[in-house]
Amino acid sequence: MSELRTRDVVDADLPAVLSIRNRSFGPLGTGGEQWWQRVSAETLGGRMIAVVDESDTVVGAGRIRPYEQAWGGRHLRMGGVAGVYVEPSARGRGVATTLTRALIARMGELGDVVSCLFPTTATLYRRSGYEIGGVQTRTTYAAHLLRDLGSPRAGQGGAAAPGGLRPATPDDAALMHELSRGAHVRHGVSGPMPRSTEALKGILERDELIAYVVDGGYVVYELSDQAVTVEGLVATTPEAAAALWGVVGSGSSAAPTVHTYLDPRDPVTLALGGLPATEVTQIPWMGRVIDLAAAFGERGFAPHTTASADLVVEDADAPVNAGAWTLSVSGGRGTATRTADSDSPVRGDAASPVAAGITSNEDGVRGGQRAGGPGATCAEAALRVGARGLSALWCGWSVSRLRQAGLAGGGNPDGDAALDAIFACQPFITEYF
């Protein structure tokens, strides 16, 4: 299959794309048609790309969903790659790789500075610079333990319970959105995506989920099969948290189990009168840096961290990332500056020390000099990574782990420590897309 090319999906292509989707994953279930219409409307006009053959027949397609994603408590534009479908008879002919590269290029054009996806296969996306960033965690609790958080005895000696607990309405969507963003900032988290006001309003209008608001918080959950599944819970005070968890657990006799898709370190674990159930389910997700300079400048960092490190990147699919950089962090803000020797070639794909032209990392820094001697340039002293290594570094993987996986070479111990301090985080995602 030669002559593959990509173009935007238009309305007339949607039946063909849906047909490929159904042949790849089976027919849509109950409510699937409404879902398909919503995601198609969200991504037509620049965020849905098709791969076509020489006769302009669609043989693959993928979507870029427009999200915000928290990194260090600040929100960056993120392209959520989803709905990557390849016609089964065209598999193994480069359709998926062609599509993934086109999606990366389009995200750069649209101003998305990072990207995430839930992979069906890791190999495909690793070829295009994605790497495992974290997991979506489902934690299970006994409902009666959560119910007890909202009981009068749980609040003995504390402030009075907050007022205003009531079912949420579409008019609460903007408040819920701002509460989510505020929680990300307050806790300095990395990874989660606040649902947009429009998405929340749609959920509440369609009665898809049960939602309550209280002074200083909200909860969104589903009730089915004798279990409650919490999709989101935000509270600004212990009293608001107790009230919301209390309503979640209030039906413990009929729904004795509660599943949650929240921060794995949600404070409920500290407040609970017992332990979570042993059942924990994790779904891995992959991340990618689309525009290093823009993403680094917008990311939040620990306010008391002051560090600087050199980094050389090779990234054929996002050339804006390629070259030699100095990364600096101070006062919670960061800058990525191209160095004077940023035109120095990056040998190989930097997937391993050998590919990067590195045979040893034992020189380190001596007497305040860069590795390689007094005259070493930034590129010679810097850690060297490919697109996968950059993405893993961004997601908080330590340099020592990158080295062990063969994703980094060169550099020196001081530079490794600085990069670890700069990118330190425990990213997680709460919403599957």
Number of domains in the chain: 3
Residue 330 has pLDDT above 70, yes or no: yes
pLDDT of 226:
87
Tell me: do 351 and 412 sit in the same domain: yes
Pair (58, 168) in one structural domain: no
- In the predicted model, is pLDDT for residue 110 greater than 80? yes
Residue 345 has pLDDT above 80, yes or no: no
Indicate which CATH number applies to the domain containing 325.
3.30.1050.10
pLDDT in tens, 195-219: 999 999 999 999 989 999 999 999 9
Look at residues 238, 262, 284 and tell me which one is the last residue of a structural domain.
Answer: 284
- Are 73 and 177 in the same domain? no
The token pair at 430 is: 């709460």
Q: Final residue of a domain: which of 77, 105, 129?
A: 129
CATH of the domain at 180: 3.40.630.30
* 235/116 same-domain check: no
Out of 284, 302, 335, a domain closes at 284
Q: What are phi and psi of 337, to 5 degrees?
A: -120, 130
Give the structural domain span for 37.
Answer: 5-129
Task: Note whether 154 and 267 are same-domain residues.
Answer: yes
What would the two tokens of residue 342 be? 């940023």
- The rounded distance, in Å, linking the Cα atoms of 227 and 104 is 39
Using alpha carbons, select from 74, 72, 81 the residue that is nearest to residue 101: 81
pLDDT mean over 301-325? 97
- Tell me: do 280 and 141 sit in the same domain: yes
Tokens matching residue 285: 């997700």
352 pLDDT more than 60: no
How many CB atoms sit inside 10 A of residue 374's CB? 9
Same domain, 265 and 333: no
Model pLDDT, residue 381? 84
What is the rounded average pLDDT of the residues 124-132?
97
Give the tokens for residue 40. 């198609």
On the 0-12 / 13-18 / 19+ scale of CB atoms within 10 A, 184 is buried
Helix (H) or strand (E) holding 87: none
Instruction: List Cβ neighbours of 149 (8 Å cut-off, separation of 6 or more).
Output: 241, 242, 245, 246, 249, 268, 271, 272, 273
The reply to whether 252 and 343 lie within a common domain is: no
Same domain as 280, residue 153: yes
> Is there a domain that residue 22 lies in?
yes
Is residue 227, in this structure, part of any structural domain at all?
yes
Question: pLDDT tens digits, residue range 358-408?
Answer: 333 333 332 233 334 444 555 668 999 999 999 999 999 999 999 999 999
State the Cα–Cα distance between residues 196 and 183, nearest whole angstrom.
Answer: 14
What is the reported pTM? 0.88
Query: Do 363 and 256 share a domain, yes or no?
Result: no
* Shared-domain flag, residues 245 and 166: yes
Angle of helix 173-187 relative to helix 197-205, nearest 10 degrees, comes to 130
- For 215-263, how does the pLDDT look when each residue is reduced to its tens digit (9 = 90+)? 999 999 999 888 999 999 999 999 999 999 999 999 899 999 999 999 9
**Burial class of residue 270 in the structure, from the number of CB atoms within 10 Å of its CB (0-12 exposed, 13-18 middle, 19+ buried):** exposed
